[in-house]
Amino acid sequence: MPLVRRCFAVDLHDDPERIAAYRKWHEPGGPPVAVNEAIRADGVTVLEIWLTGDRMFMLMEQDTDIAPDPATKRARDAANPDVAAWDELMAGYQKSLPFAPGQTWVEMERIYSLGEQP
């Protein structure tokens, strides 16, 4: 199972009540089962979201043998009413990073790995 690690970032609206609500939605049992199933169906074996202030970082490990291409994933998610409703709900809490208007969860580029250092 060839794994790839991918990392993403997005901001939340800087409002303590909204941030608390977003955190609550991500407690165990918060996301709908169909959302978790859709994530796993995409070959995701690890998915963690980290928060500092209003900035979030998502770390994901994905089996590249199972992972769909981006167009297939978008189509599959759009056709799943539970995933579409979850995405719409979460978008109400998120705001675009300053350099990526209109986007959420912008994929990050790895620029350093200790394992590659002498």
Q: Would you say residue 68 has pLDDT above 90?
A: no
Q: Fold for domain 3-108? A: Alpha-Beta Plaits (3.30.70)
Q: For the chain, which residues make up each domain, given as ranges?
A: 3-108
Does residue 83 contact residue 96 with C-beta atoms inside 8 Å?
A: no
DSSP letter at 111 equals: -
> Crossing angle of helices 16-25/81-91, nearest 10°?
160
Range 29-66 burial, b when 16+ CB lie within 10 A, else e:
eebeeebeebbeebbbeeeeeeeeebebebebebeeee
pTM: 0.91
Of the listed 2, 4, 5, 13, which one is catalytic? 13
Give residue 84's pLDDT: 96
Q: How confident is the model at residue 70 (pLDDT cuts 50, 70, 90)?
A: confident
First to last CA, the chain: 28
- 3-class secondary-structure state, position 84: helix
Give residue 96's pLDDT: 95
Q: How confident is the model at residue 86 (pLDDT cuts 50, 70, 90)?
A: very high
Give residue 8's pLDDT: 97
26 is annotated as an active-site residue: no
More confident residue, 111 or 71: 111
Q: How confident is the model at residue 1 (pLDDT cuts 50, 70, 90)?
A: confident
The encoded tokens of residue 16 equal: 């303590």
